[in-house]
Amino acid sequence: MILEIVSPEATLLNTEVEVISVPGVNGEFQMLNNHAPIVSLLVAGMVTFKGSNVQIKEQFTDKFTSVKGAYSLPIKSGTIEMKDNKVIILAD
C-alpha cells in the first residue's frame, strides 16, 4: 500500500509500505494491505510503519527514526484516511 504523510511544511513521505500503526483517539491501531476504508482522528504518539523498499527524502530523514526495519515519526495530532490501499496522514 502507499503511505503519504503530509505536514504543514511539506509532504514528508510518499512510499510503499506493508504495515502502518497509528495513535488513534481510542488507542493505537494497525492497517495492512486491503484494509477497509477508514477515516480517523489521531492523537499525540508515534506513526510506525514497515516496508521492504521504504524511501524517505533526504531532507526529511532527520524527522524519522529507524529500528530493525521499522520507521517511526512522532506526531502531536492529525487525521488519517485509508482508501483503495492508499493511506494519507495529515500530521501536526
Q: Is the pTM of this model over 0.85?
A: yes
* pLDDT tens-digit readout, 29-79: 999 999 999 999 999 999 999 999 999 989 999 999 999 989 999 999 999
pLDDT of 86 reads 97
Domain 2-91: assigned CATH number: 2.60.15.10
pLDDT of 47 reads 98
Residue 12, C-beta contacts closer than 8 angstroms, at least 6 positions apart? 5, 6, 56, 57, 60, 63, 73, 91
pLDDT of 70 reads 96
pLDDT of 69 reads 87
DSSP 31-72: EETTPPPEEEEE-SEEEEEE-TT--B-GGGGGG-EEETTEEE
